[in-house]
Amino acid sequence: MPNYFSNLFLLLTFLFFVIVNSTADSKIEHKIAVLVNEDIITSYDIIQRIKLEAILNNKNLSNQLLVNNTVDELIKEKLKQQKIDEYNIKILDDEYLRFEESFFDKNNIDRNNTLFMLEENNISYQQFKNRLINELLWTKLIGRLYLRLTSVSDIEVNEIIKNNPNISLEQAENFVIQRQLDLQSSKLLRDMINEATIEYK
């Protein structure tokens, strides 16, 4: 535990300088960077995800905050996947395709251009797809665990409609339910992080 923060600092500093070099991922030896329980995150995983997020969000690769956030997100994905596997959550191909289409629409991202950028930066489509699959599976898991525990009050619905007069009653009710599910999701993930064994190499 005494070396936890120093190891994290060294890891992030190393990755920061590596990523500044656009050809770095082909030059370095891809070593284990983080252990999440028994699941491995390598330096290659981190660099590829940073490049993916930079493409999707139009961010600078040399942004130190992006490096930090990427490591955090990969750790969370590992923990989510462990819980998803525990409950054996599955999705169908057409569920994924609808989710991917929704992702591009909601984020106003051109799919063809994105796929071209991924190929140009040596990032496989499967890496992008895995990111979305994890998100979709986690959403299904949270629904299975907590949807039956949600409740909709007239006070909450009326307040939402008051602030957003153009939405329907059904949309307002769905918003209330989703907000409750998001809170449960955050709490579950926070508990999982607190209970996990996370080692920075």
pLDDT, position 200: 87
The CA distances from residue 16 to 66, 118, 192, in Å, are 9, 20, 27
What SS3 state is found at 63?
Answer: coil
82 by Cβ neighbours in 10 Å (0-12 / 13-18 / 19+) ranks as: middle
Domains in the chain, number: 1
pLDDT, position 15: 56
What is the rounded distance in angstroms from the CA atom of residue 60 to the CA atom of residue 65? 10
Domain that includes residue 158, residue range: 4-200
Q: Are 46 and 15 in contact (CB under 8 A)?
A: yes
C-alpha torsion angle, residues 185, 142, 136, 78 (rounded to 10)? 60
Which sign, positive or negative, has the C-alpha torsion 51, 121, 62, 24? positive
Per-residue pLDDT of the chain (201 residues; tens, 9 = 90+): 444 444 555 555 555 555 545 444 444 557 888 999 999 999 889 889 988 988 888 766 656 777 788 899 999 999 999 999 999 999 999 999 999 999 999 999 999 999 999 999 889 999 999 999 999 999 999 999 999 999 999 999 999 999 999 999 999 999 999 999 999 999 999 999 999 999 988
Alpha helices in 58-200 (DSSP H): 64-87, 93-106, 111-120, 125-146, 154-163, 169-195
Model-wide pTM > 0.95: no
Residue of 147, 118, 2 lying closest to 51 (CA atoms): 118
What is the rounded distance in angstroms from the CA atom of residue 185 to the CA atom of residue 71? 19
The most distant pair of C-alpha atoms in the chain lies apart, rounded to whole Å, by: 59
DSSP strands (E only) in 65-150: none
CATH number at residue 195: 1.10.4030.10
Q: How far apart are the first and last CA of the chain?
A: 12
Residue of 89, 129, 93, 133 lying closest to 111 (CA atoms): 129
